[in-house]
Structure formats: C-alpha cells, structure tokens
Structure 1
Amino acid sequence: MLAKIGLGVLCGLLLGFVLQRGRFCVVGAYRDMYLTKDNRMFIAVLIAIAVQAIGIFALSGLGVIQLSNVSFTWLGAIIGGLLFGFGIVLAGGCATGTWYRAGEGLIGSWVALFTYMLGTVITKAGILKPVNDQITQYKTTEGTIYGTFGISPWVLIVLFTLLVGFIVWRHLSRPSVKIPSLKPKKTGLAHILFEKRWHPFVTAIIVGIIAILAWPMSEATGRMFGLGITTPSGNILRYLTTGDSKLLDWGVFLVLGIGIGSFIAAKGSGEFRWRLPDRKTIRNNFFGGLLMGFGASLAGGCTIGNGLVNTSLFSWQGWVATLFIILGTWAATYIVIVRGQRKANSTGKGYQQSVPA
C-alpha cells in the first residue's frame, strides 16, 4: 500500500504541477483547431505521444516493463469518443484538465469532477452497466495497428516521430508574435517554476517523460498500465460508498496527486483563487461531467488513456477513439460556443462559457 501511495502521488504531483504551469490542455488543443485555427497545442499533444512511444517501447524491449494488450472495442470507441468529446466542452476541461483546474480553485471543475466520477461509476458498475457491456462487446481480434499490418512497432514510431518533427520544424519556422512579459518578481529556479511562461512544446516533452515513468512506477505496484484517469476517478467514488480498499490502486493516488500538484503550482504562481461561474456554466459543467464519465467508459479511456497512452501504443482503440473525441469536441464547440456567441450577439447579451485556458 505504501508503494501505491508513494509512487502514485509522486507521479501525480509531477504531472499536475506540469499541466498547470504549462497550461497543457487537450480540450484546448482539439477545440482551438476548429475555433481559432490555432494548432500549437495540438502539435504539443503529438510531441507528447511521440516521446512516450519511444520511451515505452524502448523500456519494453529492454524487459523493464510489460506493455498491455489493448483490445479494440470499435463501437465503444466511436460512440464513447463522440459523447466524451461533447462532454469535455460542456465541462470546460477534459479528465486531467478538470483535475488540475479543480486544483486552481475553479468551482465549476469541482462540479464536473464529481459528475465525471458519478458517470463513470454508473456506467461501469451501476444501472448503465448493461448498456456499457452491450456496446463494448463488439471487438476485433487484433488491437494494434502494427499487428494488423504485420510490421514492427518501430516502423510506426520512426515514421510518426519524423512526421511530428517536420510539423514542429514548420511551426517554429514561422514568424512569431512576441508577447511582452512582465518584469520578473522572482529569480532563479522560483522564476522558472512559478513565473516564467512555459512553451507548450517544452511542456509536452516533460509530459511525455512523466508518461514514460508512469509505466514502471505503476507496474511496481502490480498495475500493468501507464497513465489513466477515468477508472481511478470512478474508483474514488466507489471506495467512498463501499469502503472496498481493493479499489485503492496506484491510479487512484495518481489522480489525487494531480489535484495536489496543480494546487501547489497555482499557489506558487499566484493563480489559485476560488471562482464561482454563473448558473448556466455550472449546469453545463454538471451535464458535461456526466457525459465525460459515460463516454470515457464506453471508449475505454479519456484524452489521457486513449489520446496520450493508447495512441503511443499504436492501438486502434487509441487512435479511433481520439478521432471521434476530436469530432465530438468540434460538434460541441459549434453548438455550445459558436452558436451561443451568435445568439448572444443577436440579442445584445454577453455569452460566457467556462473553457480551458
């Protein structure tokens, strides 16, 4: 138990701190591609996937870790991905984004976090379990892309890394607009950790490294997987209602660590403050969290489990679910944000919706 607590919280602290300081938000990455035509954060997500893929397959080849065989529940990936993508826009953050924004004091994220847990438990172990079981029964025999084509995973890793490298080079080659920075109030390490603006690409590399470290840290406690948010979040609520200590695995302490790490980062940078959104945003956060829990359970993961980990494993589940999460995000962005703004402009009323930074 001590290993689960120590290693899980340590990994979560690192991840939560980096996510908060780097403003690393997957919802923003998907949403901004459609809303503002800004691909920078999406490129950062691709960097994190590439870094993790290199690291975990190297560790697997050395026998340090054992990679999981991810089955491809194709119908769940499609339906769950769409619903989850829609839900994260309503909730104002994805699974990890909700955790780290809750650590910043955003009340709406606390609401979304609770209903996210509730939606997960209802789907995995409650009244919607028959629906979950029915949809996720449709599986393919081969779960990996490289297995389907009968090639080495390193072929995909090299091709993907070269592609990401080219995209990064193209992006950095463009003229950039310099954002004026305030006069530093801190010096040395404190300035770098709590005050300096973090570049999303640097943040992505660090996130990728933490995702690599998560594998041996998790497997040391008997949990054979890397980062995961949905099931551990649901297990917190299940533990609180049943008292079953078997639910307290490494992943539970990981997500708790994310919230604590984000709180430390927000306090150190002066960004922590309690914020109460308007009633409409709270309502959206509530129903968005439920959709997140239901969708992620069907899809077999969230923007971390599927969008970062399963994609780095080059599993069909990860890439197909991520594609439909993006489509769901775009649909919700149009319906909730774009149309909401148009309606507000036509009536002369301001429109507000809690969205990730």
Structure 2
Amino acid sequence: MNIENLIEFFGEKTSIALAGLLIGVFFGVFAQRSKFCMRSAVVEFWNRQGTAKLAVWLFAFSAAVIGTQLCITLGWLDVSQARQLAAAGSLSGAIIGGLLFGIGMILARGCSSRMLVLAANGNLRALLTGLIFAVAAQASLNGLLSPVRTWLSGLWTIEGGASRDLLATTHLGHSGGIVFGLVWLAAAIIFARRAGISRREWLCGSGVGLSIALAWLTTHLLGSQSFEIIPVQSLSFTGPSADMLMLVLSPPGQPWDFDIGLVPGVVLGSFLAALWGGELKLEGFQDGRSMRRYIAGAICMGFGGMLAGGCAVGAGVSGAAIFALTAWLALAGMWLGGGLANALIDRPQLQEKTATPETGVADAAVQP
C-alpha cells in the first residue's frame, strides 16, 4: 500500500497519528533495550567514568544525522519548511532553555524521553516526573509561565531560512553533514569497544537515531500527498507531552496529529520491550527529599524544553540532525547545564556518601 492509498483508506489525520504511533513504538523498543539516556551520557562524560552510555548516545546521534542527511541527499526528504529552519528562532531561548533543561535532567535523573520509557516499565518516580514535566511545558506554552518564556525568547532572535541552517552558512552541504555523522559514528564504535558493550546496545542505540530519521521522512512523504497541511517534523517530547495532557483534559473529538500518536507509541514500545526482557518493576520514591528533587527537575525540563524549542531528543538529536543553529545551541546548553549541575549537586553528594570513616577519602570507583 503506497502513501496515497494509505491516506485514502485511513484519512489524513488518522494516517499521520498512526505514523506517530508506529514510529513511537520503534523508538520505545530501541530506547528501552539500549538504555538510551542523554543524562547518563553527560554524567559519564563530565565525570570521566566509562564510555558505555556515551557510546549508546553517540550511536543514536550519528545514526540520526547520517540517516536524515542521506535521505536529503538522495532527494527523498525536504526539510526546508521544518519549523527549526523555516521559522524565526530564538538564540537566547536556545541557550537559556538548553541550560535549564540540562540542569533539570540531572535533578530528575533522566531526560523527558527517558522518563517516558521508565514510566512504561513501572517506575512511579518517572511517571510523576513526566506528568509534572507536561504541566510545566503546557504552562510555558500558553499558561502562567508563558510571559516569562516569551520575554526570554525575545532577547536574541534570528530570522528563519539559511541563517538558521548551519550546513548552508558553513557551505558544507549535505554531503558534509553525512561525513560529520560518520566521524561521530567512528567515535561511538571506539567508545563502545572500550566499554565492551553488547552488539544489541550498538544496534538498538542506532535504532533510536534511525527512528528520528524515519520520522522526518515519513512526515515529509505524508505531507507531500495530503491536501491538509502536515508539518515536516521528527521526534520531540516537550510539545507532544503538553498536547497529550490537553487531549486528556479536553472534551472528546480533538483533532489527531503525529504528536498525539507518538507519546502512546513510545509507552507501548517500551512496555513491550520491558515485558519481553523481564524488566517490568514497580519503583517509587525513597523519601520526600528525593521527591522534591525530581519535581524541581521536571519543572526545569518543562520550561527549559519549551524555551529551547525541544527536549534532549527534539532539539538535541532531531533538530541537530538537520543542522538547525538553535538546536545545536540548545544541545550545547544541555551538555553544559548537565555538567554544571552534576559538578555542583551530584558529585559532592557522591563524595560525601562514599567517604570512608578512616580517611575521609571518597571511593572514585563508585558510580552515581
């Protein structure tokens, strides 16, 4: 069944929602089996404690870049009208939002996509964090926090078009984008071999990135055959989480789109992967102090993600895969914010907990 027949059979809105559902399932399965998590990669990088999580993140990142740029080079995909490139953007929002999101994912011990995956596995901490994240994102979009977001976004803006496209401004072209992705793929292989991670983690990490490239391609193909406007987009969890929240709270009959299918798809995929791997397990909070930490992290991620124009996946991988300037600034902010929060909050606590009574020296081998 080709795209035209698919749209004719299911209808335009149902087709795009089903596409979001199926790609969400793929992402959920791959993310759960690979333990894909930007927060873990950031902690490993800044603490210089292993390369396993960093390798998985780099497999996902490089696969998304190579897959997306290859589709563009072959003429299968056109992202010129994607929001991250075509619309005016906020450099201040990307930088400040990225920093806040990075701090939030350290406090919550996982980014928004990881929270969604863990919640489907029975982690009640992740479930509460994800709900607060969605509320904070919606409040930042149209609610109480919206004026603050608007003010911060307006501090430093940039026009849409070529000025937001790093491949255009650097004159590297899409072939250069593929080469760039291959460099990071080589780094991922080196780190994976050093850490001794399994082939499954290699493949599933790459599957996360290919899900992002597939989303770009699928929304483009559906949009090119639809009479209604279907935006070219990929995976992100800030806006979709807010949309799902409003869908649940609003009267029935709300229109469906890619994002509405994406979130339940990720939950379903992660649940099935955890069920197959025997990893379903109910987990909760240990005490009130840890709950306050998760709530603060969720608020930082919800506001920061909406300010930055995307989460660790939406801006950090999806936007970076099409070389949107604001996405790369947000990604850098997330790594810096995560590193700062890790150094100021987690590392001192770890050293205090692991200090021996005799010497007072922390055991450097203990992982956070």
Distance in 2 (CA, whole Å) between partners of 1:3 and 1:217 is 11
Q: 1:48 to 1:61 in 2, by over 3 A?
A: same
Structure 2 residue corresponding to 1:229, chosen from 229, 237, 241: 237
Find the counterpart in structure 1 of residue 265 from structure 2.
257
Q: 1:336 to 1:56 in 2, by over 3 A?
A: same
Report the alpha carbon displacement of residue 202 of structure 1 after superposing the two structures with TM: 2.0
Count of residues in Structure 1 that have an aligned counterpart in Structure 2: 330
Structure 2 residue corresponding to 1:324, chosen from 309, 333, 338: 333
Find the counterpart in structure 1 of residue 181 from structure 2.
161
Distance in 2 (CA, whole Å) between partners of 1:284 and 1:42 is 24
Amino acid at match of 1:266: A
Q: 1:335 to 1:150 in 2, by over 3 A?
A: same
For the Cα contact (< 8 Å) 2:122–2:283, is it kept in 1? Answer: yes
Report the alpha carbon displacement of residue 287 of structure 1 after superposing the two structures with TM: 1.7
| Partner deviation per Cα, 1:188-209 (whole Å, 9 max, x = no partner) | xxxxxxxxx6543322221122
Distance in 2 (CA, whole Å) between partners of 1:248 and 1:343 is 50
Find the counterpart in structure 1 of residue 215 from structure 2.
214
How large is the RMSD of aligned CA atoms in angstroms? 2.5
For the Cα contact (< 8 Å) 1:236–1:248, is it kept in 2? Answer: no
Structure 1 unmatched runs, 5+: 180-196, 349-355
For the Cα contact (< 8 Å) 2:244–2:263, is it kept in 1? Answer: no
Amino acid at match of 1:17: V
Amino acid at match of 2:173: S
TM-score, structure 2 normalization: 0.82
Q: 1:109 to 1:330 in 2, by over 3 A?
A: same
Find the counterpart in structure 1 of residue 157 from structure 2.
139
Q: 1:124 to 1:249 in 2, by over 3 A?
A: same
4+ residue runs over 4 A deviation? 244-247, 345-348
Distance in 1 (CA, whole Å) between partners of 2:50 and 2:336 is 16
Structure 1 residue corresponding to 2:46, chosen from 19, 34, 43: 34
Distance in 1 (CA, whole Å) between partners of 2:121 and 2:237 is 18
Q: 1:123 to 1:77 in 2, by over 3 A?
A: same
Q: 1:345 to 1:165 in 2, by over 3 A?
A: closer
Report the alpha carbon displacement of residue 260 of structure 1 after superposing the two structures with TM: 1.3
Find the counterpart in structure 2 of residue 97 from structure 1.
114
Report the alpha carbon displacement of residue 123 of structure 1 after superposing the two structures with TM: 0.4
Report the alpha carbon displacement of residue 102 of structure 1 after superposing the two structures with TM: 0.3
Distance in 1 (CA, whole Å) between partners of 2:171 and 2:146 is 35
TM-score, structure 1 normalization: 0.84
Distance in 2 (CA, whole Å) between partners of 1:323 and 1:120 is 21
Find the counterpart in structure 2 of residue 76 from structure 1.
93
| Partner deviation per Cα, 1:183-235 (whole Å, 9 max, x = no partner) | xxxxxxxxxxxxxx654332222112221211233342613111111101011
Structure 2 residue corresponding to 1:150, chosen from 160, 171, 186: 171
Report the alpha carbon displacement of residue 136 of structure 1 after superposing the two structures with TM: 1.6
Structure 2 unmatched runs, 5+: 1-12, 224-229, 358-366
Distance in 1 (CA, whole Å) between partners of 2:136 and 2:257 is 20
SS of 1:4's equivalent in the other structure is helix
| Percentage of pairs with the same residue | 25
